Amino acid sequence: MFPRTLFDSDQELFRDSVRRFIETEITPFHAQWEKDGCVDRALWNKAGEQGFLCPTLPEAYGGVEVDFRYNVIINEEIARAGASGIGWGLHSDIAVPYILNYGTEEQKQRYLPGCISGELVTAIAMTEPGTGSDLQGVKTTAVRDGDDWIINGSKTFITNGQHADLVIVVAKTDKSAGARGISLFLVEASRDGYSRGSNLEKVGMKAQDTSELFFEDVRVPAQNLLGAEGQGFVYLMQELPQERLSVATNAISNTESILEQTVQYVSDRKAFGKPIAAFQNTQFKLAECKTRVDATRVFVDRCVELHLEGKLDAAMAAEAKLLTTELQGQVIDECLQLHGGYGYMWEYPVARAWADARVQRIYAGTSEVMKLIIARQMLEQG
Ligand SMILES: Cc1cc2nc3c(=O)[nH]c(=O)nc-3n(C[C@H](O)[C@H](O)[C@H](O)COP(=O)(O)OP(=O)(O)OC[C@H]3O[C@@H](n4cnc5c(N)ncnc54)[C@H](O)[C@@H]3O)c2cc1C
């Protein structure tokens, strides 16, 4: 791998402990979880015991209070292992930060310790059957009724949807106010009127529980409003860069790992009396992939540094997501080709990675939406 300067020796020790945990607690079971359509719920509590959930959260709530590089290490190791069923990134990097950044002290004390221990699995429910990219078009409503809010609507494609105990729900509190009419709510899965739909059958990421969620007159107290009424869209825009960086760190690490495994495969496999690696076509393909992966790795590490400094803006994060996830699709496709027929067999990591990677260009904002964000900033500055 291209030499990196992002991590110190303590962080590399942390990486070793994450890697060992994955080797013993995840890899041996992941194929079964793919058949089950979700991971074992107890894995969340085991991860919590190790400090692998929300490591950046303050000690006051039970966190380790380290910087985002620890989240990056966890993402990288999961991606390296091809453990695509693990929803910790969505929990630690995407959903829980909303509670930390916009929650009241009472909400933080109520929820954060459970998010860190694994007692509470979180999800974030933006997408609806009728709208995904166009977030302002959400139809789910929250209507004030005395000291409560009553939520009605349905969501789909929600990561951690079956396991989630606590869902951040994007809802319209003022249908006539456009983006300013969107608010966020903390909805416990135990609320009356809340129900999970089916665990959706996907092309890849088969051990990840991705679900529909339904809200039928779900009554939550006013204290469950997250942040200020009407500010939901602003909060989403503020948090999406970290979400996209998180996807980017996963994408580049998974790509590196599959490329390394492919080097091994072509060295071992023979055709026409020589290793596949001896053909010039193989060498050229590998060289092209490696060059692009190394250059992208440097870019992503720099984006992580900028994020640590609070300087990663929406367009840079969109670039990181666009670049890494498109590259992931292209490189893994080349790697699969170099595996021949074995590359199409589910038991081979490259086959799973190929299927798993496809969604990376769709969720957390599609590649097309990333291009819109990047171009908008160019034109504003130009
Ligand atoms: C496995 C999985 C997990 C997911 N997890 C979550 C989750 O946890 N929470 C959540 O809220 N959502 C989640 N999603 C939903 C995901 O974020 C959306 O699918 C995604 O944002 C795209 O929305 P859509 O599916 O409605 O597609 P659409 O918005 O209908 O887009 C269809 C096509 O039109 C293109 N398009 C749309 N608008 C434009 C435009 N202005 N210019 C050019 N092209 C455009 C898109 O790029 C796409 O190619 C998940 C999805 C999947 C598949």
In tens, the pLDDT along 260-305 reads 999 999 999 999 999 999 999 999 999 999 999 999 999 999 999 9
**Which of ligand 1's atoms lies nearest the C-alpha of 364?**
17
271 HSE (CA, 13 A, CB side): 10
Contacts of 134 (CB under 8 A, 6+ apart): none
**Helix, strand, or coil here: 37?**
coil
Taking the model in full, what pTM does it have?
Answer: 0.97
3-state secondary structure 147-201: CEEEEEEEEEEEECCCCCCEEEEEEECCCCCHHHHEEEEEEECCCCCEEEEEECC
Answer whether 75 contacts ligand 1 (Cβ < 6 A): no
**CA–centroid distance, residue 258 to ligand 1 (Å):** 26
DSSP code of 71? H
**Which of ligand 1's atoms lies nearest the C-alpha of 126?**
11
Write out pLDDT tens, residues 198-256: 999 999 999 999 999 999 999 999 999 999 999 999 999 999 999 999 999 999 999 99
In 3D space, the residue among 86, 81, 73, 75 whose CA is nearest the CA of residue 41 turns out to be 86
Statement: residue 123 has pLDDT above 90: yes
Q: What is the pLDDT of residue 381?
A: 81
Q: What is the pLDDT of residue 247?
A: 98
Residue with CA at minimum distance from ligand 1 atom 12: 127
Which residues are known to be catalytic? Answer: 243
Write out pLDDT tens, residues 42-84: 999 999 999 999 999 999 999 999 999 999 999 999 999 999 9
Instruction: Give dist(CA 367, CA 320) in Å, integer.
Output: 11
- b vs e for 11-35, b when ≥16 Cβ sit within 10 Å of the residue's Cβ? eeebbeebbebbeebbeebbeebbe
Q: What is the pLDDT of residue 298?
A: 98
**Which of ligand 1's atoms lies nearest the C-alpha of 202?**
1
Whether the Cβ atoms of residue 255 and residue 247 lie closer than 8 Å to each other: no
φ, ψ of residue 53 in degrees (nearest 5): -105, 130
Helices (H) and strands (E) in the chain, counts: 12, 10
Return the best residue to mutate from 363, 371, 374, 376 for the ligand 1 pocket (most ligand atoms within 8 A of CB): 363
**CA–centroid distance, residue 48 to ligand 1 (Å):** 30
Q: What is the pLDDT of residue 382?
A: 72
